[in-house]
Amino acid sequence: MNPYASRRYIISAIFIATVLIYLLRLAYIQIIDLSYKYSAENNSRRYVTQYPARGVIYDRNGKMIAYNEAAYDIMVTPIQLKPFDTTEFCNLLNITPKYVRDNIRLARKYSIYRSSVFLKQISAETYAVFEEKMYKYPGFFVQTRTLRKYQKKIAAHVLGYVGEADDNVIKKEPYYKMGDYIGISGIEKSYETELRGKKGVNILLVDVHNRVKGSFQNGRFDTTAVAGADLTTSLDASLQEYGEYLMQNMSGSIVAIEPSTGEILAMVSMPTYDPALLIGRSRAANYAALQRDPLKPLFFRPVMAKYPPGSTFKLLNTLIGLKEGVLSTETRYSCAGGFHFGNRVLKCHNHPSPLNLTAAIAISCNAYFCNVFRSIVENREFGSSEAGYQQWYDYVKAFGFGRKLNSDVPNELNGYVPTVKYYDKFHGAHHWNAYSIISLSIGQGELGITPIQMANMAATIANRGYYYTPHVVKKIRGRTNIDPRFKEKHTTPFDSTLYSIVVEGMYQAVNGAGTAGIGRLADIPICGKTGTAQNPHGEDHSIFIAFAPRNNPKIALAVYVENGGFGATWAVPIGSLMIEKYLKGSISRPALQDRMLTFKRKI
């Protein structure tokens, strides 16, 4: 017997032990540790996003405002690159060799195996040329996207713009991935979830060189992109366009509302810009240029500009006075060139005196409304000026001032109505009374009202006491209803009989011997009120609020012309022309219209 025969067991044991160790290791990497499975998926699957077309935006009459156009991103996969004719490549795409170098380096930094965007949004023409020559440039391929296209250069601010989702958004909302588009302002932002649709994905199998080898499980897990929902806005494209045409040389805004529904018919913010500037590759450069413009074209005035309301505010003071019983249609105040208190005087223009309420509204007598305001605030019933002011303040707030209306246009501001506290701080508690704040009576002072709030006041008066929250979207395709908040009727603390008195004054302002006579139309009874707001930025703002026709009003609007001087000079003609345009579709006063174009900015 071989003396070492027992060593066969040691050798067998070594074999068995090795195999056992290997089996344990295999069990670990194949069964227990799941990270290899994820790595394998990352390795071999390429998720190709199918970008849905964004919803189309229409006006109230079904006219297309914003739609989509195919755009082409050139993608690069660094590992597939082969040396190529850079000069020809650069000429094809109209880029510099430095751009090529820099972007290939960037792409390499991201991943040499995965594709990243090399050149964004080339035009269909460039794409057609490039596609023919693409075989010469392995490693490059084209991904189709859609870009916004605009029928007319209107309503840039309302529509807003679309851009790439930034890191913050991506972190917060997992739906968005690098390079995805998202609505950044306007209704593109507020209706983002409706407009964006749903991305789809094609899962492709790729080899180590990132060459597509087929679809994963025959496309069983692929999803198709669902196009975004089309929006029908309440905007009237031709009215919007006409407003922008009239104000082309002005700064300011027009907000026009259909009083019976709260639908916004036009929302002009001047100066404006071509919405097409903020799409595509040149967006960043154009945006920077717009931002530098001293006229602030990016500033969305209808919801963000806070102006003193000027004399238009007399309408609200009238309602409060009537409601509080300190004013009646027969109340008369005399005006001796203004309102005298102490050794000071709040001036008024030259007009007959004394006046009754209707005439005071029509002629816009300052002294009259100073008296009205004083009798509200100093009403003995309340015991103190503070209490009286608080009452006044509550009415103003109830009317929709000093807070956001919560429309569907983003970036709305609150505006400002000073509180009792504010004056206590400013003058010292009990050291102020109606005279200290008398300028509120004529809509001056600390008041800050946005044009949309002003237009809403016009709509409320037109409705004789109620309003619907102004909004620009009327219908979302695939939905039966828009947000219920736009169907909710908001009432004010004043009876409709009180409104009738105000309406009569407004009618007289336009059709009687009033301040807005220039706005009169023979066949449409327009009711309106002018305003001239002093402001720290130079010449007075020219303001006009109006609605028409007097009964069953179809349109209510507010017009602001910054530094335009008297309300009657610029704002009234614009308001009147807008009303005529909307109600009749044509303009009977071309001379008045042309005069609007002669405006010269005084900045």
Partner 1 sequence: MINRKENMASGIDWITVVVYVVLVLIGWINIYAAVYNEEHKNIFDFSQRYGSQMILIAAAFIIATVIILVDLKVFTVSAYLLYGACILLLMLVLVVGQKVNGARSWFRIGSFGLQPAEFAKVATALALAKFMGSENIKFNNSSTFVIIGIIIGLPMLLILLQPDAGSLLVYLSFSIVLFREGLPGAFLLFGFMLGVLFITSLLLSKLLIVSIIVGAGFVAFAFFTGRYRETGLGFLLFSGLSLLLWAISAIGHLGLDYYYIIAASFVVSGIAFLVVSFFRKIRFLASFVLFLLGAILFTFSVDYVFHHALEEHQRTRMNILLGLESDPLGMGYNVNQSMIAIGSGGVLGKGFLQGTQTKYNFVPEQSTDFIFCTVGEEWGFVGTSVVIGLFLFLLLRIVAMAERQRSVFSRVYAYSVASIFFFHVAINVGMTIGLLPVIGIPLPFFSYGGSSLWSFTVLLFILLKLDSSRLELFR
Q: Which residues bind partner 1 (CB under 8 A)?
A: 3-5, 7-8, 10-12, 14-16, 18-19, 21-23, 25-27, 29-31, 33, 35-37, 39-41, 43-45, 205-209, 213-214
Q: Min. distance of Cβ 29 from partner 1 in angstroms?
A: 4
Q: Min. distance of Cβ 24 from partner 1 in angstroms?
A: 10
Q: Which residue, 208 or 522, is less far from partner 1 as judged by CB?
A: 208
Helical axes 97-110 vs 86-93, angle rounded to 10°: 100
CA distances from 481 to 65, 471, 477 (A): 21, 13, 9
Q: Min. distance of Cβ 114 from partner 1 in angstroms?
A: 13
Q: Which residue, 34 or 591, is less far from partner 1 as judged by CB?
A: 34
Torsion angle of alpha carbons 28, 29, 35, 36, nearest 10°? -170
Q: Which residue, 100 or 206, is less far from partner 1 as judged by CB?
A: 206
3 state SS for 3-59: CCCCHHHHHHHHHHHHHHHHHHHHHHHHHHCCHHHHHHHHHHEEEEEECCCCCCEEC
Q: Which residue, 46 or 157, is less far from partner 1 as judged by CB?
A: 46
- The residue type of 52 is P
Q: Is 413 helix (H, G, I), strand (E, B) or coil?
A: coil
CA distances from 485 to 35, 256, 402, 452 (A): 49, 19, 19, 17
Q: Min. distance of Cβ 213 from partner 1 in angstroms?
A: 6
Handedness of CA 344, 350, 355, 361 (dihedral sign): negative
Q: Which residue, 19 or 128, is less far from partner 1 as judged by CB?
A: 19
Q: Is 544 helix (H, G, I), strand (E, B) or coil?
A: strand
Q: Which residue, 41 or 394, is less far from partner 1 as judged by CB?
A: 41
Q: Which residue, 33 or 394, is less far from partner 1 as judged by CB?
A: 33
Q: Min. distance of Cβ 279 from partner 1 in angstroms?
A: 38
d(CA 3, CA 226): 81
Q: Min. distance of Cβ 141 from partner 1 in angstroms?
A: 18
Across the beta sheet with 212-215, the strand order is: 45-50, 200-206, 212-215
Question: How far from each other are the two terminal CA atoms of the chain, in whole angstroms?
Answer: 117
Q: Which residue, 9 or 135, is less far from partner 1 as judged by CB?
A: 9
Q: Min. distance of Cβ 219 from partner 1 in angstroms?
A: 16
Q: Which residue, 13 or 284, is less far from partner 1 as judged by CB?
A: 13
Q: Which residue, 111 or 406, is less far from partner 1 as judged by CB?
A: 111
Residues 6+ apart with CB under 8 A from 98: none
Phi, psi of 44 (to 5 degrees): -110, -5
Q: Which residue, 23 or 597, is less far from partner 1 as judged by CB?
A: 23
Residues 560 and 532: beta-carbon distance below 8 Å: no
Q: Min. distance of Cβ 116 from partner 1 in angstroms?
A: 17
Residue 49, CB-side half-sphere exposure with 13 Å CA sphere: 19
Q: Which residue, 40 or 284, is less far from partner 1 as judged by CB?
A: 40
Handedness of CA 277, 279, 281, 286 (dihedral sign): positive
Q: Min. distance of Cβ 40 from partner 1 in angstroms?
A: 3
How would DSSP label each residue in 470-492? -BSEEEETT-S---GGGSPEEE-
Q: Which residue, 8 or 198, is less far from partner 1 as judged by CB?
A: 8
Q: Which residue, 29 or 285, is less far from partner 1 as judged by CB?
A: 29
d(CA 327, CA 321): 5
Q: Min. distance of Cβ 203 from partner 1 in angstroms?
A: 11
> Residue 336 is encoded by which pair of tokens?
């001796």
Q: Min. distance of Cβ 214 from partner 1 in angstroms?
A: 8
Reference 256, options 231, 235, 233, 232; nearest CA is: 235
Q: Min. distance of Cβ 45 from partner 1 in angstroms?
A: 8
Residues 374 and 263: beta-carbon distance below 8 Å: no
Residues 438 and 346: beta-carbon distance below 8 Å: yes
Q: Min. distance of Cβ 110 from partner 1 in angstroms?
A: 14
Number of H helices, E strands in the chain: 21, 20
Q: Which residue, 17 or 70, is less far from partner 1 as judged by CB?
A: 17
Residues 94 and 87: beta-carbon distance below 8 Å: no
3 state SS for 68-94: EEEEEEEEECHHHCCCCCHHHHHHHHC
Q: Min. distance of Cβ 21 from partner 1 in angstroms?
A: 8
Q: Min. distance of Cβ 140 from partner 1 in angstroms?
A: 21
Q: For Cα atoms 348, 453, 518, give the angle at the middle one, nearest 5 degrees.
A: 45
d(CA 85, CA 95): 13
Residues 6+ apart with CB under 8 A from 253: 267, 268, 269, 270, 301, 302, 305, 451, 558, 559, 560
